[in-house]
Structure 1
């Protein structure tokens, strides 16, 4: 299992949360690829954590369907399943639209400052990895303003799975005409325009679905 050589646990947080964030980060940045086995001892050594918080964090990742556990056999990053991702997008669309409709008017000055930073990072020179980081940050801005925490948790979980696909297939994010739906979503948030934000989310999900299909077809042709 590939893990960073330097200890990764920050101070003053619950250990299980540190472990969860650490493993999640390795999955989302592609260090741990789909199908990669996760070794408890490696995680314990990397984060300086005991077995219990490591197992708690891995169980939490399993509940989010990012990790598969087969007792007595293996723990591994969940393999990508294109059909399942399509189903997740079908559920994610109305949930994120709800988040945007409910939360756009609640965005704070601090939220809008974060969105302006994100906007500055987007552009024709942005790499796929940079786009993914911005997309995750933008999603958090709206989701964190949701009053309904059950919807918030569901959107987080589905978003992780969709993002994982594009981490492993970054070329699917390149070559999109500008301004992209993500650009327009960020601009709508900065301007507090709920209607424009809803349209941008719909277009963004359409784009992800299209890229998912085209990526699958390209892979099968190759």
Structure 2
């Protein structure tokens, strides 16, 4: 769909990071569809900022694999490419496994309860077919361990590669197969509560690897949501 109508979505004091996140989120949630041309003027009007933060945001998005640019000709939203998703999945799964290994020795009862609460919200969102709420709850669930790991480098890597998977994840959470993640989350919590570092790390990696079947399906290259 076209860039949303309206002026000044955000403050004139918008930082480069905010411009990046706004465009990135519109790509991830399908507002800006795969193959859609991105015009600087439209984005400037939509966000209410100058061209500089928009162009810097598009450059970062190209590095992240969400945008493709042909200098002097066009900038488009990247198709959902299977290889890019496989690469992002491998890195993301490894980072979440590392987060478990670094967080678990000192994980508190409060953090375990936060994971249970997030998973309950996740299950409820799936029952209501609310994909956006499911994604937010899934982020919250895994985010407990990422935060507890206190590893800034790990967070930076996830910040780069997770958005590539988000469009694929939307397909998963809008399908019946996404319901399996609730039980997988419960198992991760159980292993964390038992202090089983190796088991919780393996279960977390397995949870992220459930996206693999979607990578082998023909619709992946052109899909905008999972």
TM-score, normalising length: structure 1? 0.78
How far apart are the structure 2 equivalents of 1:104 and 1:179?
20
User: Is 1:122 matched up with 2:125?
Assistant: no
Cα offsets for 1:10-55 (capped at 9, x unmatched): 58x7521221111111112110111112121122112210111111
**CA 1:46 to 1:100, structure 2 compared with 1: closer, same or farther past 3 Å?**
same
> Residue 3 of structure 1 aligns to a residue in which SS?
coil
RMSD of aligned residue pairs (Cα, Å): 3.3
- Tell me the matched-pair count: 217
TM-score, normalising length: structure 2? 0.77
> Residue 68 of structure 1 aligns to a residue in which SS?
strand
> Residue 52 of structure 1 aligns to a residue in which SS?
helix
How far apart are the structure 1 equivalents of 2:114 and 2:9?
25
Which ranges in structure 2 are unaligned for 5 or more consecutive residues?
222-226
How far apart are the structure 2 equivalents of 1:106 and 1:5?
47
Which ranges in structure 1 are unaligned for 5 or more consecutive residues?
none
- The worse-fitting range, judged by mean Cα deviation, of 45-54 and 174-183 is 174-183
- The worse-fitting range, judged by mean Cα deviation, of 108-117 and 82-91 is 108-117
> Residue 2 of structure 1 aligns to a residue in which SS?
coil
The 5 A counterparts of 1:164-175 are 164-167=167-170, 171-172=174-175, 174=177
- The worse-fitting range, judged by mean Cα deviation, of 43-52 and 189-198 is 189-198
Q: Which one of the candidate residues 199, 202, 205 is aligned to 1:202?
A: 205
Of structures 1 and 2, the one scoring higher in RCO (CA 8 A, sep 6+) is: 2
**CA 1:108 to 1:30, structure 2 compared with 1: closer, same or farther past 3 Å?**
farther
**CA 1:175 to 1:155, structure 2 compared with 1: closer, same or farther past 3 Å?**
closer
Paired residue for 2:218? 216
